Every structure is written in structure tokens, then in C-alpha cells.
Structure 1
Amino acid sequence: MELQIPYRLGQTLHVLLFFFVSTALCAQNDSIKLKNNDLLVGEIKTLNKSVLVFKTSYSDKDFNIDFDDIISISTTGLCVIHLTNRTQITGRMKPLAPHKARIIDKDGVVSEISIQDIIRLEEIDEEFWSRFTGAFDVGFNLSKTNNNRQLTYTGNLKYSSDKWSSAFDFNVLYSERDNAERIERKTMSLAIQRYLKQWYISGEISYLQSTEQGIRNRITPAAGAGRLLIASNKLFWIVGTGLTYNIEDFFDSQLNKRSTELQLITQFDMFNFENLNFTTKVIGFPSLSERGRFRVDYNFVLKYDLPFDFYIKAEFTLNYDNQPAVVGNFADYVFSSGFGWELK
């Protein structure tokens, strides 16, 4: 028996088939070519820290590809492309020759580049939620001596677009042992940056609580500017300066005070060295309203990437104040290690 499909139903099926095929093809117009001549077709989600995240229709998991293994790139959507000469171009990229590409910006201006000069690439026509990245890790230490118990957890959530980025970070420590007071230390920060080629302007508000230094709450809003000195597929180095207003409430309320400080920042990143990433950041706060006072915040992070976006991490954080509220407690520091997962 021959199966007959009504004419109108047949037309509808053809239209639906055309729609789904067209949608699938449009969603897979980006392409990359690897050193071994493999060609991948799909969607470039992001390139950051020398790792390109690539999505295909035939895999449930995104591919994380070492950028050194890529010899050509083609994109259909608008991308923000950050280069090693500390400039950025918004446009579409087409292959020109192995390791070469041309970028066609929104005004039709064509620029020719080496793809090894790309340090970051982001598609700006992605969905809003896909622009978020983040990480969370937790660590726990237990020792028989004095029944010592320590819990740490840290995390971050970041958002980026063609000209703006923002980040929220937190780091929490709880420590208890027999015959001793409970130790608590909490830090949080919310920052936003506006890129101006190799320069940026920023605003930030940070929070600290430290029982070791007698600080109930330290809230520090800040504003400043900085410059990217080194940018490559392996290294970043930035410097910056700004002003802060320090709002400090101590467990001894008689010590509460307000002050104005200069902010001096330097940050150095090394990444994707055989899955090893290293970040160190130093912020100095010479006081403008308290004679002779100087504070330092220091952070060191060593992270090793594991499969499926997991990682292990070691972190050291130091807060120094040469005029502490608790006499003799010039510094508070935390060393922690943990296991975590990244949202990419």
C-alpha cells in the first residue's frame, strides 16, 4: 500500500525541515583548523588564557583546545578581539593563510593579523547568560592535635562584554580548636572595569572581617585607572592606581575610624603552562589622612586544571597594617588548598 501525504501537510513538513536544517547550519558557521589539518565546524564560545572553548553539535561537552594547536580561524558573528599590542578590534575574522587572518570591523575596515597575536576573543552576539564564567572550591583540614578543624571556601563570578567586565570574589575561613577562640576571616569584593584600548578605568567595593586583627567590618570603596603593560598568550601584567575611602569598624567600637588612602596595584598572571596557572596581586594603601599608616593586601594563587573543568588550587592571602587596632597583630594571613569546578 502506498502512503500518501496530503499536499498541505507535505508543504508544512518541507518548511519545517528547511527551518531546522537552516538553523543547524547557521549555528555551526564558525570553524577552526588544527595543525594536524583537522577542521572543526561549530561555535567559538571564547578564547582566554590560551584556551579556545569550541562547541559542536555532535558532542555534549565543549572542546577546550590549546590555542597553539590552531592554524586558522573563521567566525561569522561579531567578536571582540584583544591583541598583544594592547588594542582591540570588534569584527568578523576570516582566514588569510596559515597562522594569518583578516578582521573586518563593523565599518568594513580590514586589518591583517597573525593569530598568535590574539590574547582574548569573545563573541558579543552570544546570549546574556553565556557571558558569565565562575569557579567554586572548598577545602577542609582536620588534625588530632587540639582537635583542630578548619574550613575554607572560595569562589568567583565574572561577566564580560566588548567594553565592560565585572567580577565578584569571596574567600571565607572558619577555624576552631580546643581551648581557643573561634577564628573567622571573610573577604568579598565587587569590581567593574571599562576598557579604553590598553587602558582601563575601574570601580570596586571590598569587604573584610578578621578576628585576628580585631576587624568587625572594613568596607573600602575605590575608584582608579590602570594600564596593561604585557599581554600575550601566556603572560599578563597590569599596573594601576586610584583612591579609596576606608570605613573601619572594630570589635572594640572605640577604635572605629574613617580614612582616605592612595591605592597602588600590580598584578601578574602566567597561564596554560601544561595546565598550570599562576596569579599574584599586590595592592599598597599609603594613607592620605593618617600620618605614617601603610597597608598591604597580597594574594597568590597556584591552580592546576583537571579534566571536565575541575581543578586543584593552593592560595595564600596576606593583610598587613603597620598601625593595627590590636597591638602587635600587624598581619593576618591564610594558606589554603582545595578542589573546585569552573563554570566556562
Structure 2
Amino acid sequence: MDYKTTLRLSQSFFFVAFFITSTVIWAQKDSIKLRNNDLLVGEVKTLNKSVLTFKTSYSEKDFKIDFDDVVSISTNELCVIYLTNRTQQTGRLKPYSPDSVRVINKEGGTNVFALREIIQLEEIDEKFWSRFSGALDVGFNLAKTNNNRQLTYAGNLKYSSDKWNTKFDFNVLYSERDDTERIERKTASFASQRYLKQWYISGEVSYLQSTELGIKNRITPAAGIGRLLIVTNKLYWIVGSGITYNIEDFFDTQLNKQSTELQLLTQFDMFNFENLNFNTRVIGYPSLSEKGRFRLDYNFVMKYDLPYDFYIKAEFTLNYDNQPAIAGNFADYVFSSGFGWELK
């Protein structure tokens, strides 16, 4: 075999290998089609709160796409798909018809769903660290009157798997002015939920320190069960109940006590409404061991998403106790605003 023949064969082999490799690589790509007929090819990273995160080779930044604009989706990897009826499917997504999709499981079985029934999507082979998300924000207020200064900072860290959702969050307030003592308020919680179709079980440990209520430390472990009443790709509403064990240490140590309480809660979330997100949560604690005592925790958060994962936030928190440690101080409330960044 002469040199030219060898060269031609080598070139032909290289071309065939390149074609096959390119075809395989292309076949391994995910794809989505939008209502304006744009077709994106790359990698579906996550779908959460009606926002689809999509990565392409030609863009340094991941695309954040409103899932309402998606009419067709195809994934190469196995995914866990969460539906509005709180069931979940495991399989690959393939187009079926406009605004609907086939889920092909590992055994080859097929189920068809409307795209709007999908509320969350995660690839099974995602790396451990990619399952984390979080946020951190800071706010500062300064007024000339009485040299009033207020600092707030808050944050959260979340981990989501195909079975569990776990979240840690904290919120801290320091307030000083010339004519009063320093005011401090600190809250933190660690909670985990396991979904069982329309139901869920949960465990939580919360912490509170409040100079206004005279509470040095309040630690409240709780366990309960709840139900999802409404779940869509834009909002959800849940209710639940459980038992808490309340451990309270006051600045006046003679008031230290422990008690058992019933927990009744409701939570309502609305998200991705033109970059606005709303969250409100109410928890009532009728005491089982202290006659006539009732506590209530209320929280409302409004967040507006900015470019590059930044956001601005306004938050209102209320703690009420009809049998307070300090006479007359039935409630402690905080309204704060801040600027933050979100890890996605």
C-alpha cells in the first residue's frame, strides 16, 4: 500500500470517526422547544418553581427560562419528575404532542403527562453538591434621631433529593439607640420533610432569642404530618399538625420552664410571578401542659429577583404569646428589608 492510499484511508477513517462521535455527542444532548419556535440544545439542569435552568455550549451563563414558554422537552438522562398530584415518576422525557410529554421509565413503560403537571425536575445522576441551594442577605438602617442604628442579616441553605427536602435558615436583628438598651432578636430552624404523594411527614428544631419577650433561649423540637391542598407550577398551599416540646430559658431564670404543645400550621407560596415570590406561614401552638396558654408565629416574605441571582427582599415576622414572661409584652415583631444573592 502506497503513501497516498494510506493517507486517503486515514482521512476517511478520521471523517467516519468524527461523524460517529459527533452524532453520539449530539444524541446525548437535551433539547427544549419554546413557543416562539426557538430550539435550544444542551443540558437541562433543574426545574424548580416554574423556572427551567438550561445550559448550552455557546453561552457562559445558564439560561433561566419560564417553564410556561416551553412546549416540548427531551432529556437523555434519567430524571425524577415531581407532578402536581405530588406523585413522582422516574424516567426520560420525550416529546409527545404540543404541551405534553412522555415519561419512559427504565423498563420501557410509558406515561403521558401535560407539561404544566410537572412542578420539579432533577437528574438522578446529579452531583451531590448540585442539590444544594441557598441565599444570604443583609440590611442596614440608620436614622439621626437618637442615633438609631439597625442591622439585619438572614440566610438559608437547602438540600433536595428525590425523597427529602431539608432546609436550614436563620435571621438576626441588632438594634441600638441612645435612649434604650440594645435590642437583639435571633431565630434559626432546621427542618426536613418527606413527601408521600399528597401527604408529608416532617421534623424540625427551631430556636428563638428575643430581648423584647425576655427570652434568652427557646428551643422547640417538633414532629408532625401534613397534606398538600393545592400544588401547581406557580403556587402551593399546605396544612399540617404535630407535637412540640418547648424548652424556654428566660433572662429571669426563675421563669425557666418546659412544656408540651400542639402545633397547627398552614403555609402558602406563590412564585415566579414576573420575578416576584411570596411566602407566608402561620403556626399556632395551643399548650397541652399549661392551662390557657397560646402562642403564634407568623412570617411573610416578598422577594423580587434581579439579574445574576441577586434579589431584594421585604420580610415581616411576628411572635405572639398570651402568657408572656414580661407583663404586657405579648408580641415581638420585626419588619426588615435587604439585598442579597442566591445560590442556585
Settle same-fold status: TM greater than 0.5: yes
Q: CA deviation at 1:88?
A: 1.6
Could you report, residue by residue, the CA deviation over 1:104-144 in whole angstroms, capped at 9, with x for unpaired residues?
Answer: 22343311111011111122210000000111111000000
Residue 274 of structure 1 corresponds to 274
Residue 140 of structure 1 corresponds to 140
Residue 220 of structure 2 corresponds to 220
Could you report, residue by residue, the CA deviation over 1:16-53 in whole angstroms, capped at 9, with x for unpaired residues?
Answer: 98999699657x62111111111111111111111111
Bigger Cα displacement from structure 2, 55-64 vs 152-161 = 55-64
Partner AA of 2:217 in structure 1: N
**Whole-angstrom CA distance in 2 between matches of 1:92 and 1:241:** 36
Bigger Cα displacement from structure 2, 218-227 vs 106-115 = 106-115
Q: CA deviation at 1:312?
A: 0.6
Contact 2:225 2:241 (8 Å CA) reproduced? yes
Residue correspondences, number: 336
**Whole-angstrom CA distance in 1 between matches of 2:109 and 2:24:** 29
**Whole-angstrom CA distance in 1 between matches of 2:23 and 2:69:** 30
Q: What pairs up with 1:68-87 in 2 under 5 angstroms?
A: 68-87=68-87
Residue 125 of structure 1 corresponds to 125
**Whole-angstrom CA distance in 2 between matches of 1:215 and 1:153:** 20
Residue 330 of structure 1 corresponds to 330
Residue 54 of structure 1 corresponds to 54
Q: What pairs up with 1:27-42 in 2 under 5 angstroms?
A: 29-42=29-42
Partner AA of 2:64 in structure 1: N
Could you report, residue by residue, the CA deviation over 1:139-184 in whole angstroms, capped at 9, with x for unpaired residues?
Answer: 0000000000000011111000111110001000000000210000
**Whole-angstrom CA distance in 1 between matches of 2:129 and 2:25:** 21
1:342 and 2:342 aligned: yes
Partner AA of 2:67 in structure 1: F
**Whole-angstrom CA distance in 2 between matches of 1:266 and 1:320:** 16
Partner AA of 1:163 in structure 2: K
**Whole-angstrom CA distance in 1 between matches of 2:333 and 2:18:** 62
Residue 197 of structure 2 corresponds to 197
**Whole-angstrom CA distance in 2 between matches of 1:106 and 1:231:** 27
Residue 263 of structure 2 corresponds to 263
Residue 161 of structure 1 corresponds to 161
Q: Secondary structure at the match of 1:323?
A: coil
Q: Secondary structure at the match of 1:146?
A: helix
Q: Secondary structure at the match of 1:291?
A: coil
Q: Secondary structure at the match of 1:308?
A: helix
Q: CA deviation at 1:258?
A: 0.4
Residue 320 of structure 2 corresponds to 320
Could you report, residue by residue, the CA deviation over 1:242-275 in whole angstroms, capped at 9, with x for unpaired residues?
Answer: 1110010000111000001111110001111111
Residue 300 of structure 1 corresponds to 300
Residue 92 of structure 1 corresponds to 92
Unaligned stretches of 5+ residues in structure 1: 1-9
Q: Secondary structure at the match of 1:180?
A: coil
Q: Secondary structure at the match of 1:328?
A: coil
Partner AA of 1:278 in structure 2: F
Residue 310 of structure 2 corresponds to 310
**Whole-angstrom CA distance in 1 between matches of 2:87 and 2:181:** 52
**Whole-angstrom CA distance in 2 between matches of 1:90 and 1:239:** 27
Contact 2:41 2:56 (8 Å CA) reproduced? yes
How big is the alpha-carbon RMSD for the aligned residues of Structure 1 and Structure 2? 2.4
**Whole-angstrom CA distance in 1 between matches of 2:23 and 2:31:** 17
**Whole-angstrom CA distance in 1 between matches of 2:106 and 2:291:** 53
Contact 2:85 2:197 (8 Å CA) reproduced? no
Q: CA deviation at 1:80?
A: 1.6
Residue 179 of structure 1 corresponds to 179
1:63 and 2:69 aligned: no
**Whole-angstrom CA distance in 1 between matches of 2:315 and 2:77:** 38
Residue 5 of structure 1 corresponds to none
Partner AA of 1:282 in structure 2: V
1:284 and 2:284 aligned: yes
The 1:114/1:255 distance shift into structure 2, 3 A limit, reads: same
Residue 252 of structure 2 corresponds to 252
Could you report, residue by residue, the CA deviation over 1:72-96 in whole angstroms, capped at 9, with x for unpaired residues?
Answer: 0111112121212232212211101
Partner AA of 1:258 in structure 2: Q
1:233 and 2:233 aligned: yes
TM-score for both structures, normalised by structure 2:
0.92
The 1:181/1:87 distance shift into structure 2, 3 A limit, reads: same
**Whole-angstrom CA distance in 1 between matches of 2:23 and 2:142:** 57
Q: Secondary structure at the match of 2:125?
A: coil
Partner AA of 1:130 in structure 2: S
Unaligned stretches of 5+ residues in structure 2: 1-10
**Whole-angstrom CA distance in 1 between matches of 2:308 and 2:259:** 46
Q: Secondary structure at the match of 1:179?
A: coil
**Whole-angstrom CA distance in 1 between matches of 2:201 and 2:106:** 25
TM-score for both structures, normalised by structure 1:
0.92
**Whole-angstrom CA distance in 1 between matches of 2:219 and 2:47:** 34
Residue 3 of structure 2 corresponds to none
Partner AA of 1:257 in structure 2: K
Contact 2:80 2:162 (8 Å CA) reproduced? yes
